[in-house]
């Protein structure tokens, strides 16, 4: 039993360390030897627990993604579509703006964006699809069942990319653009603004006639 517990602890230590190194250097520049050195384990541990560097990278992605907060609508079954849209956006912005936890996943994502490996595409799609469906359901409720799927996807892209400003712009630059420190209250107000702005855009899509 002791060995099993120690093994789980070593594996978790390797995953946490790998996340940090991959987030700092990207997949190609990250060295397995450095990960093991930082984790305080021997080089053979990678092969024993993960097989190789590729599998370690994929599992590090999965491990980091588990720190992302989920949109939980279980207590808002009777809430309006707008309220659920606000909650969705608030959670998305929280994941994009935190400086720990999900922040590690954001850095991994940016590294993969700059230097794509092609190793985690399927896992990435599998992870985000349930979250996408929640947003699609909200948009469909606002626009009605006759809305085209492509219009829903256009709205999704518009909403998500407004929130991604927290990932693509340095915090100091964002505070400069906003003219004040990025406090929890400011994030809440920005979440509400993006939700209201997005709702107006979604409704405009519904009223548009080509």
User: DSSP code of 70?
Assistant: P
3 state DSSP class of 72 = coil
CA 202 vs. chain centroid, Å, equals 23
pLDDT at 5 over 80: no
Radius of gyration of the chain measured on its C-alpha atoms: 20
Q: What's the CATH class of domain 2-65?
A: mainly alpha
Return the C-alpha torsion angle 190, 191, 197, 200, nearest 10.
Answer: -160
Q: What's the CATH class of domain 81-207?
A: mainly alpha
Q: Are 70 and 49 in contact (CB under 8 A)?
A: no
The predicted model gives 92-110 an average pLDDT of: 80
Kindly report the pTM of this predicted structure.
0.80
Rounded-to-integer distance, Cα 200 and Cα 206, Å: 10
CA 129 vs. chain centroid, Å, equals 12
Mean pLDDT of the chain: 87
Find the helix packing angle between 32-39 and 53-65, rounded to 10°: 60
Number of other residues whose CB lies within 10 A of the CB of residue 47: 13
Rounded-to-integer distance, Cα 21 and Cα 15, Å: 10
Reported confidence tier of residue 106, pLDDT bands at 50, 70, 90: confident
- All structural domains of the chain with their residue ranges: 2-65, 81-207
Reported confidence tier of residue 70, pLDDT bands at 50, 70, 90: confident
Nearest CA among 49, 69, 94, 110 for reference residue 194:
94
Q: What are phi and psi of 98, to 5 degrees?
A: -65, 150
Rounded-to-integer distance, Cα 152 and Cα 150, Å: 5
Structure tokens at 125: 């799609």
Rounded-to-integer distance, Cα 68 and Cα 42, Å: 30
Nearest CA among 201, 127, 189 for reference residue 161:
201
Least confident of 74-78, 112-116, 153-157, 176-180: 74-78
Rounded-to-integer distance, Cα 7 and Cα 41, Å: 11
């Amino acid at each position: 039993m002791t060995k099993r517990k120690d093994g789980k602890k070593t594996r978790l230590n390797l995953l946490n360390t790998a996340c940090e190194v991959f987030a700092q250097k990207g997949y190609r520049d990250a060295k397995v030897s450095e990960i093991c050195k930082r984790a305080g384990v021997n080089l053979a541990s990678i092969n024993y627990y993960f097989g190789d560097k590729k599998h370690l990278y994929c599992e590090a992605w999965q491990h980091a993604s588990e720190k992302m907060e989920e949109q939980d609508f279980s207590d808002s079954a009777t809430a309006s579509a707008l309220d659920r849209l606000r909650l969705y956006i608030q959670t998305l912005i929280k994941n994009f703006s935190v400086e720990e936890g999900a922040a590690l996943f954001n850095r991994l994502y940016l590294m993969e964006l700059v230097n794509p490996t092609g190793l985690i595409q399927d896992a990435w799609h599998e992870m985000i699809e349930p979250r996408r469906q929640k947003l699609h359901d909200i948009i469909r409720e606002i626009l009605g069942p006759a809305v085209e799927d492509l219009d829903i996807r256009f709205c999704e892209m518009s909403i998500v990319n407004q929130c991604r400003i927290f990932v693509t712009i340095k915090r100091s630059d964002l505070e400069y653009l906003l003219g004040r420190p990025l406090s929890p209250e400011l994030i809440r107000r920005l979440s509400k603004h993006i939700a209201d702005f997005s709702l107006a855009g979604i409704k405009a899509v519904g009223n548009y006639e080509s």
